[in-house]
Structure 1
């Protein structure tokens, strides 16, 4: 069965509540003050079962003082029922309600002339003409106009038939978004506790589900669900639901909050939007303070128009950024209304483009508008690419993208697949960056390595960590790893443990450097198994610059000519190779076991040299310590 939300709209005392009562048998005026004064003050709800379609009615107040309540109910409707009294015709709130529905993107509706029994045919025709003039060129231009009387029942049956026909023609709610339910009522039920109601605008909510209440960030669990007064296990987009929550007190909740999946979305204090200003309103200007109505929330916000002249004129449209005084739960494509406070009136409406926007510099406004235009596209892949491009070199994590788009896991995967097919996005361990930015990062690594080799021609390469600090200091480490893997796979870079170098780099030695290098190597060759520290070796050279000699020693280490026994002591490779042979001969003559005294005798050196040598041999599988002796393993492998 289809579920459709129909909202009433129209001037005060034009019979909206009486019309809903005639259709459903439910009096939506529930407050004592509403009964006493005979007007609707707050939202009222009723439902109508038409067999193959179930209609939920949201009855809104018509008085100008209660427009904020009207806006809280108008956000989630699929179809509007604009009510015009036959004895008064189109009135100020008729026009304002009509404009609000148009700005909120309502695409379908019906016009109902109420109180038909109070006028003759001539006056009825005049009212029809007024309505046609009001709706000309709008989404209601071709809408049915039905004259009714809640008192006599005239036209009610016909209205039900038209409502059914229009409801069945309405397409499904937007798919691919996570669950959201803007809260429009909060109350308690004895024996159950806290209950909130609202229209589920996306996704589905399930009994037992953990939810988060935005913008407060409180967590709760769905204890029970009702749709149109009947218990259900799940509610879907397009249905009005009553949600029994556990783990949260009623005093912590209010209209304007939103239920969402736990940990999925984030509140925001700023958003960029495409805004349409009414022809008979006020121009929207930078630094203007306005009331923003979004979902069921109302918040004060400061405007920054992103057009070059800092203004969106009456009857025009453009981009603007809104900085809210309080956080709100919003997502791209959410519709909102802008009202000016003095005098209080509706001046504009808009559609959210980005819920976590950057600060736009004036000189970058054309670029910002172009990107916001991409974010407004219907194609989710285009929007995803634009969002990632706007993040720059930092990229966006998967969690950040989901929070900023509200996409379901399936819709995100589909959009990402399209972005990859276009070659527009690179993924690095769940961090996503535009191809252009990633290519720039790769070039930055190569440039940094080239600069390092120019500065340090004698050094084999740059440490991995130093390269990251210089080229990607403020970027996620995942992007650095991906860029490094890219240049290594392409053969442009060689990664040797912790050292990175360009594949074309070879240490360049001047004639004097070659002489000094040979002198240093000779020092270690003559030293044999008497390992030397780098500083001890440097003391054995006379006039050569110590820093230059130190780099040449590191070059000898990097080339494998010198071997590190530990953090300080170095030994020539030839000495170790000769030692291996002596150990093999020892094992053949004396057995595979050797203790420290025997090893000292074998090499003719003190414990100072013997212990570091044995520990090195242990680490490299030449010997293995077994208690107080070492077992010579190379003898066993021969």
Structure 2
């Protein structure tokens, strides 16, 4: 499906053209039909060639410019209508200014009412006006909505227009700007909008203003569907939201894929920052939000939004002065998570920064950013990829040069420790995720969640005490030193834990330590016993004590060396 908008001065025949092309009545309200004046957004669709084409018919009267902007904002192309008997008019200019501010680049000029006047002069004037905007040179066709003359040419021209439009990716994140919301008895809340990209399927869960809603049903072009992909006009029956919490200007979003922000930095098109009023309205999608404007550079400003919006870098909107009924400027979103401007001269510096590589500038400012956050902001990947993170190469290089010093300082402060805990090192380095630590540990030793310098051993005092225990174990490998003896050697809990981490002791039970390799030596000694054997027989074979023997056999059971038989005896596995 392709979706295009109409534009043009009031009473130039936009709705009549849509009516003749689609056979549908775009003016939904009785008041519109009574007055012959479009007051709200209208819709109609038809098939042209191999494409379904949906029209968003916008009002042309100056009183309804905000409604026109809501209709034109989300669509990629426009049919611009000018009447042959009236030519270029004030709302023609305002609609064109809006399309230019939105950056619409694809269009078709339709000169209507050729049965009332020669379309040549109106065509020439309109083409001159359009050529000076983002639309540039566009094809043109003339017709009469009353007699039907020229409508075949209009259909063919519309077909050529939509055939040249790009096809958005089906896997894109969904952002459906709502243009209508209403209630249907027995169904509940229904919303409509133009799906610009992505795919929506029945049962999908989407985010609406921080609330998770599910898609109960989908209708597109009057037909119920189970799935729809952009670009498309859609009506969604939602579960999980009341009608009063959904309205024009809200957006249905892929959960977690968009950053909703109340401050953005934008580049202006068609105006200088010094020329703008401080209070304007930002129109983007179907939203219209009052903003405060703060100049940054000659063509860049910061917008403080009264209502947060889900925006991405590259979004195009426009700024409008509602008091003067003027389009003030186009606004291209540059940064949806801009830095604070607290220091003197910060605004000027920020303006200069906005002329450079914004993705790299953002990464340098934060150091480490999740790749998903860059996607949510609309920024291209920058820096180096480490797992799910993007990292600033300069920041990473500086950390890599200091990590050894951090580990060495820790070792000096904790001489009996077997190494610096990885979590402690991560916090000292200011890393937001443990995944970022591993690439910085080149040339360091790691084990059991500890980091140490190569060749780092135990504190000399601890090593000396363990050497004395080694002599005792050599004579009696299964006699654990008593607590008093360990204390006399200066081996407290921290020192013993360090010895265990270094592989110098094997913990059997609380306060019971034997030499490393105890399991293998015990298995060799127990192999000489008649199987099964008792605790007493094992104690005699290992020349041990009951204090050690019971926990040792339980330890051997746990590691699979021995097997308890349930009657107080065991056997080797």
Matched, 1:283 2:275: yes
Matched, 1:299 2:289: yes
CA offsets per residue over residues 342-366 of structure 1, 9 Å max, x none?
A: 4343212223345455546665986
CA offsets per residue over residues 212-243 of structure 1, 9 Å max, x none?
A: 1422423122424232x244444332332233
Matched, 1:221 2:221: no
CA spacing shift, 1:620–1:513, aligned 2, 3 Å = closer
Question: How far apart, in 2, do the equivalents of 1:600 and 1:322 lie?
Answer: 81
Structure 1 gap ranges (5+)? 376-382, 407-414
Q: How does 1:26-425 map to 2 (within 5 A)?
A: 26-119=24-117, 127-128=122-123, 130-173=125-168, 177-189=172-184, 192-206=187-201, 208-227=202-221, 229-261=222-254, 263-266=255-258, 268-270=260-262, 272-279=264-271, 283-284=275-276, 288-305=278-295, 310-312=296-298, 317-318=299-300, 320-357=301-338, 359=340, 374=357, 386=360, 389=363, 392-396=366-370, 398=372, 400=373, 403-405=376-378, 424-425=383-384
Structure (1/2) with the larger helix percentage? 1
- Could you state the TM-score of these two structures normalised by the residue count of structure 1? 0.74
- Could you state the TM-score of these two structures normalised by the residue count of structure 2? 0.82
1:461 to 413, 419, 425: 419
Contact 2:78 2:106 in 1 (8 A): yes
SS of residue paired to 1:134: helix
CA spacing shift, 1:609–1:125, aligned 2, 3 Å = closer
Q: How does 1:571-590 map to 2 (within 5 A)?
A: 571=514, 580=522, 584=525, 588=528
CA spacing shift, 1:622–1:199, aligned 2, 3 Å = closer
1:479 to 415, 436, 452: 436
CA spacing shift, 1:364–1:339, aligned 2, 3 Å = closer
CA spacing shift, 1:615–1:213, aligned 2, 3 Å = closer
Structure 2 match to 1:591? 530
Question: How far apart, in 2, do the equivalents of 1:147 and 1:368 lie?
Answer: 46
The CA RMSD measured in Å over matched residues stands at: 4.3
CA offsets per residue over residues 509-550 of structure 1, 9 Å max, x none?
A: 5xx998777667778889986634666534x36xxxx69x98
Contact 1:186 1:195 in 2 (8 A): yes
SS of residue paired to 1:389: helix
Structure 1 match to 2:2? 4
Contact 1:220 1:245 in 2 (8 A): yes
CA offsets per residue over residues 480-499 of structure 1, 9 Å max, x none?
A: 3x437xx3xx5x22223343
CA spacing shift, 1:570–1:470, aligned 2, 3 Å = farther
Structure 2 match to 1:494? 445
SS of residue paired to 2:311: coil
Question: How far apart, in 2, do the equivalents of 1:56 and 1:556 lie?
Answer: 76
Deviation of the 1:105 alpha carbon: 1.9
CA offsets per residue over residues 266-319 of structure 1, 9 Å max, x none?
A: 45033545422434997347xx343222211222233444xxxx254xxxx33x
SS of residue paired to 1:209: coil
CA spacing shift, 1:527–1:365, aligned 2, 3 Å = farther
CA offsets per residue over residues 140-191 of structure 1, 9 Å max, x none?
A: 4422344444344454443333323333333334665234432212234456
Paired residues, number: 571
CA spacing shift, 1:16–1:555, aligned 2, 3 Å = closer
Deviation of the 1:580 alpha carbon: 4.7
